[in-house]
Structure 1
Amino acid sequence: MTGIVGRSVASITGALRAVFTAEQIAENDGFLQRRDPRVTLISIAGFALAVMISRQVSVTMCFGLLTIILARLSVVPLRQLAARSAVVPLISALIVLPQAIIMPGEVLLSFTGVTITVTGVEYVILFTLRVGVGIGLLSLIVLTTPFSAVIAALRSLHVPVALVWVISITYRYLFLFFDELQRLILARNSRTTGRTSLRGAWRDARCMVGSFLLRTLDRGERVGRGMRARGGARAPSPYGRLKQIDIYGYILLAISGFAVIITGVIRWGL
């Protein structure tokens, strides 16, 4: 499948695969890399919860600054962190953008019968910042902690086995999913000569969807049979080993808990 559709699908596939193959940063000697994975999960989850609780732009920006500090201490390139954290906030901003018109409040701008309010604009900005900071915090877990260590930490924290199963299988199967899509695109391109019009590209894409769905389901069945043949009925057995929680880990946990409490006090106590 050539043309704009083929290039778009190939670009999206490569970008999605890159999300799940960025564990090389986890090998760096950074602050979060040296912490026990359980500490990383609990503390980052606490900061993300505090961001969800916050209803003030200034508080959310403070957590954004904290995210940048943790990234710098953990040798995470800020450009890469921003690239991973920018798509979802932008989509969220587009979704809530009508609130700038719908929400009542002091008029900020009015043209052709459309009124933009200060309250609406503040809501859009706050919502976008909260989503961006939350995604940035969660991205730090992926970038600084190997997936096997995350699974080991979830098991150690007594997360339900069914949920750990879903996370583990989804993560592993996504690699096969994207490989299957790339193989289909490569096979179609190898049988196509010259350039294809947009209409022809969409026709090729329509024809490829059915084949891709069937091959994906078949691959999923084979993966399931392979797992059962290798003892897949048992709970996931992660390779990652947990580390000893040091003083810095306890400090990070304390800061995370303190952040949740302070954010709750600011929201409901003032």
Structure 2
Amino acid sequence: MTGVVGRSVEAITGALRSVFAAERIAASDGFLQRRDPRASLCAVAGLALAVMITRTLAVTLLLGAVTVALARLSKVPLRRLLARSAVVPLTSAFIVLPQAVLLPGDVLVEAFGIAVTDAGVSYVVLFTLRVGTGVALLSLIVVTTRFSSVIAAMKALRVPVALVWVIAVTYRYLFLFFDELQRLVLARNSRTAGRSTVRGGWRDVKRIAGTFLLRTIDRGERVGRGMRARGGARPPSPYDRTRTVDGCDYALVAFAAATVIGSWVIRWGL
């Protein structure tokens, strides 16, 4: 398997492997794994909100350290967490990179009439760290908590049913989505001999794209009919036992609430 199609197979299998690895981590005996999903969801959402509020580099670094500490206590490999969280902040850094020369401030580097200012560099660094910390926190809750438990916690916290429906169906449909794409790619490779050129790879992608779109729509309609046949008018009801909230759960939520208040005070109260 070579070319664009071969790399597509590798991407698909890599995504599926990461999902199965996340399920194994969620089944381990870590700090967040022992917490009630409702407490974990509230705490992580609170810490993410604190990251959104803050505009101070020191506070952002402190929240990043808290995220790393939670990952270590929850037995989440930092390399895996970084790999899951690196794409979004790097993309964000690329988008806001022009601010390094657009914002006024003391000139750090100047070349070809373009001046890089300290205020611009600070903005880019702070924005990237904030996005990276927020994504890492969201990745942490996904890695350490089973998806069915997350859905059950959202229902228990009175999250709107429509939003819970969208999240649940999207998650389940992603597996069918990847499976359909993998079948098309493997079917193409089983009928091809030798190495393909770049032009040939892109030609195969164009041929596969139309078929994949039609099959995806058809599969989506079948999934919808299957859900309606099984009582799809009712809200999702994952099988999840209700846990007893203990002192550690309350302490975690209280810590997240204190962090939000502290971030708010540092930004607007000082």
- TM-score between the two structures when normalised by the length of structure 2: 0.97
Report how far residue 240 of structure 1 moved.
1.6
Residue identity in the other structure for 1:45: A
Within 5 A, what are the aligned runs for 1:206-217?
A: 206-217=206-217
CA RMSD of aligned residues (A): 1.0
Residue identity in the other structure for 2:237: S
Residue identity in the other structure for 1:6: V
Q: State the alpha-carbon separation in 2 of the partners of residues 11 and 98 from structure 1.
A: 34
Report how far residue 9 of structure 1 moved.
1.5
Q: State the alpha-carbon separation in 2 of the partners of residues 78 and 125 from structure 1.
A: 21
Within 5 A, what are the aligned runs for 1:150-165?
A: 150-165=150-165
Aligned residue in 2 for 1:233: 233
Aligned residue in 2 for 1:27: 27
Q: State the alpha-carbon separation in 2 of the partners of residues 181 and 140 from structure 1.
A: 28
Aligned residue in 2 for 1:14: 13
Q: State the alpha-carbon separation in 1 of the partners of residues 12 and 66 from structure 2.
A: 32
- Unaligned segments of structure 2, at least 5 residues: none
Query: C-alpha offsets along residues 189-246 of structure 1, whole Å, 9 cap, x if unaligned?
Result: 0000111111111111111110000000000011111111111111101112221110
- TM-score between the two structures when normalised by the length of structure 1: 0.97
Report how far residue 16 of structure 1 moved.
3.1
Q: State the alpha-carbon separation in 2 of the partners of residues 265 and 18 from structure 1.
A: 42
Query: C-alpha offsets along residues 119-168 of structure 1, whole Å, 9 cap, x if unaligned?
Result: 00000000100011001111111111000000100110111111100000
Q: State the alpha-carbon separation in 1 of the partners of residues 14 and 93 from structure 2.
A: 21
Q: State the alpha-carbon separation in 2 of the partners of residues 19 and 159 from structure 1.
A: 27
Aligned residue in 2 for 1:128: 128
Number of residues of Structure 1 aligned to a counterpart in Structure 2: 269
Q: State the alpha-carbon separation in 1 of the partners of residues 60 and 133 from structure 2.
A: 8
Within 5 A, what are the aligned runs for 1:14-163?
A: 14-21=13-20, 22-163=22-163
Identity %: 62
Q: State the alpha-carbon separation in 2 of the partners of residues 126 and 90 from structure 1.
A: 13
Aligned residue in 2 for 1:261: 261
Q: Secondary structure at the match of 2:108?
A: strand
Query: C-alpha offsets along residues 15-64 of structure 1, whole Å, 9 cap, x if unaligned?
Result: 33344332110111111111100000000000000000110111000000
- Unaligned segments of structure 1, at least 5 residues: none
Q: State the alpha-carbon separation in 2 of the partners of residues 121 and 249 from structure 1.
A: 39
Q: Secondary structure at the match of 1:241?
A: coil
Aligned residue in 2 for 1:170: 170
Report how far residue 104 of structure 1 moved.
1.1
